[in-house]
Structure 1
Amino acid sequence: MPRATRDGVSIYYEHEQGAGEPVVFVQGLGYGRWMWRWQREAVAGGHEVVAPDNRGTGRSDDGLSRLVTKLPGKLRTPIIYTLAGYSVEGLAADLEAVLDDAGLYDVHLVGASLGGMIAQQYALEYGRAKTLTLLSTTHGGEDAVAMPEETREVIFDAPKGASERETIRHRMRPAFSDRFTNRNPHLIDRILEWRLEQDAAEPARVAQAAAGANFDVRDRVWELRTPTLLLHGTDDRVVPVENARLLHEKLPNSRLETIEGGSHLCFIEEPDRVNETLLAFLDEHERSTARSRSP
């Protein structure tokens, strides 16, 4: 099991060989590696694939003080959120440690939601990103369109007396469209199993939420000349689609593809559409490299 270490914290990642340039998938807030299963299947074989567990998720250590994590939830949550949370800069540094450990350069970074924030920060601070694919994300700051209050109340709520499974189902509702949830009850049940197995525990989820809340590169994204594909559902109830349009305006080398009626997890609801667009983007930039290297 490959692992990288930064500041004494062990970060787990999966590394699969393939014929093409490496594609690195970066997870969203609290989500495990399962969230990319459809995209990983699409690129497998044709590309080398790396999928890290963000700090505190899956098999990665959380790096949090045990004195804090053992506190009752009502006391623990505000302490972690305000004083002991992660930062996107730190999560990007974790990603750099993973790619350095794997010996990879010229990678195609794919990040969704918090993972899209990490990908932006990474590309600003480090030199291994050849392209960016940013899904359902934002550049943060006061210019960004905030998460609707009714969504915030749901995804950070813990219904009284609910089991862990019931809490996850409740919090996940705004991320999917009601149509998808109603039509795919068996898949939703399977996703709940994956989440119970791989997702971040509550203290780390709060620490990741703090990182997302404090993220702000609105005055720096214009520095990114990295070719960037923006994918966003028009009915995203978590990160409104206006954020993709703001990114597109500020990123000098970006292309925006909106998915009509798409949710926050549009890459799960409409994997064929997302995969087709992603693969075409990767192919375009891999072929451009081959042409530039030919005599």
Structure 2
Amino acid sequence: MPRASSDGVSIYYEYDEHEGDGAPVVFVQGLGFGRWMWRWQREAVADRHDVIAPDNRGTGRSEAGHPPLVARLPGTVRGLVMLKLTGYSVAGMAADLEAVLEDAGVRDVHLVGASLGGMIAQQYVLEYNRAQTLSLLCTTHGGPDAVPIPEATQEHIFDVPSGASERETIRHRMRPAFTDAFTNRNPHLMDRIIEWRLEQDADDPAREAQAAAGQAFDIGDRVDRIRVPTLVVHGTDDGVVPYMNGRLLAEKIPDARLETIEGGSHPMYIEDAPRVNEALLSFLATHDRALETAETEPSR
């Protein structure tokens, strides 16, 4: 089981090597989500690319890294402590990602992040130089110019009915993200997703620490310094990170392309996986060809 050490915290990652000749694709998870969230995209790119999938700190098999006492605090107190004192930072999670890629021994990668993972990916390309391309799904650059998570969505995600079981809590939190049409058509998949989340997702303290990182994230005044080809994919019906955030990213990042998923929800990488995969594969193929051409051209 490959692991990297970042600031004394053990970060787990999977490194699936395939026979393709493209640069490795690195998938960075959203808030609290385990590696399961990328299963559709990992399968799509596997014919051409190796895949690296880290667990964000506090998620899956990665260590949480906060003091043991924090986990024993009452929920309301713990939330305040995470927000003000011991929460994670997106910069720290980008450093975790750099430790993983250093441990994996890779030089050039295609970096793909969704939601909180998209924030980590943006921070990463501003701080480090391994990413050859950047793909940002359902995410934001943060700060005062960004469109915030709707209050109703925040209440639904963070205020869970008292007495709810673990499965009921997960189902309640997912409701604003998925469309009713998708959940109604795919009851068995939704049940399976709940099982994956129980197996792999962050526990409440780590999830709150990740949420604190997302709330504090703001590169609105630096996002135009991103200098790698960038794909922005966003759904028009995203009820968590509103669509205008994707528009803002595409406008501010110099070499960015916006792919709009009409009617797409926040987890469009699940609900609209074929459309998302088509956009991602086309983007990766274009820029792998560009990299190959640059590498094979004779020097002048």
Partner of 1:12: 12
Partner of 2:94: 92
Unaligned runs of at least 5 residues, structure 2: none
Partner of 2:135: 133
**Deviation at residue 255 of structure 1 after TM alignment:** 0.1
Contact 1:25 1:50 in 2 (8 A): yes
Contact 1:17 1:45 in 2 (8 A): no
Q: CA RMSD in A?
A: 0.7
Alignment counterpart, residue 74 of structure 2, candidates 37, 60, 72: 72
- 1:93-150 CA deviation, whole Å, 9 max, x = no partner? 0000000000111100000000000000000000001000000000000000011110
TM-score, with length taken from structure 1? 0.99
Q: Which amino acid letter does the alignment assign opposite residue 262 of structure 2?
A: E
SS of the residue corresponding to residue 251 of structure 2 reads helix
Partner of 1:166: 168
Query: Deviation above 4 Å: which 4+ runs of structure 1?
Result: none
Partner of 1:269: 271
Q: Which amino acid letter does the alignment assign opposite residue 11 of structure 2?
A: I
**Deviation at residue 222 of structure 1 after TM alignment:** 0.7
Contact 1:69 1:203 in 2 (8 A): yes
Q: Which amino acid letter does the alignment assign opposite residue 112 of structure 1?
A: A
Please tell me whether residue 244 in structure 1 is matched to residue 252 in structure 2: no
- 1:9-37 CA deviation, whole Å, 9 max, x = no partner? 00000001122210000000000000000
Alignment counterpart, residue 218 of structure 1, candidates 217, 220, 228: 220
Alignment counterpart, residue 203 of structure 1, candidates 202, 205, 216: 205
**Deviation at residue 45 of structure 1 after TM alignment:** 3.2
- 1:202-259 CA deviation, whole Å, 9 max, x = no partner? 0000000000000000010111111000000000000000001111111000000110
Q: Structure 1 CA distance, aligned partners of 2:222 and 2:83? A: 25
Please tell me whether residue 124 in structure 1 is matched to residue 129 in structure 2: no
Q: How many residues are treated as equivalent by the alignment?
A: 295
Please tell me whether residue 185 in structure 1 is matched to residue 204 in structure 2: no
SS of the residue corresponding to residue 287 of structure 1 reads helix
Q: Once the two structures are aligned, what percentage of the paired residues are identical? A: 69
Q: Structure 2 CA distance, aligned partners of 1:293 and 1:98? A: 25
TM-score, with length taken from structure 2? 0.97
Q: Structure 1 CA distance, aligned partners of 2:236 and 2:137? A: 12
SS of the residue corresponding to residue 22 of structure 1 reads strand
Q: Which amino acid letter does the alignment assign opposite residue 48 of structure 2?
A: G
Q: Which amino acid letter does the alignment assign opposite residue 207 of structure 2?
A: R
**Deviation at residue 75 of structure 1 after TM alignment:** 2.0
Deviates more, 1:67-76 or 1:152-161: 67-76
Partner of 2:229: 227
Unaligned runs of at least 5 residues, structure 1: none
**Deviation at residue 161 of structure 1 after TM alignment:** 0.4
SS of the residue corresponding to residue 174 of structure 1 reads coil
Partner of 2:30: 28
**Deviation at residue 46 of structure 1 after TM alignment:** 1.2
Q: Which amino acid letter does the alignment assign opposite residue 282 of structure 1?
A: L
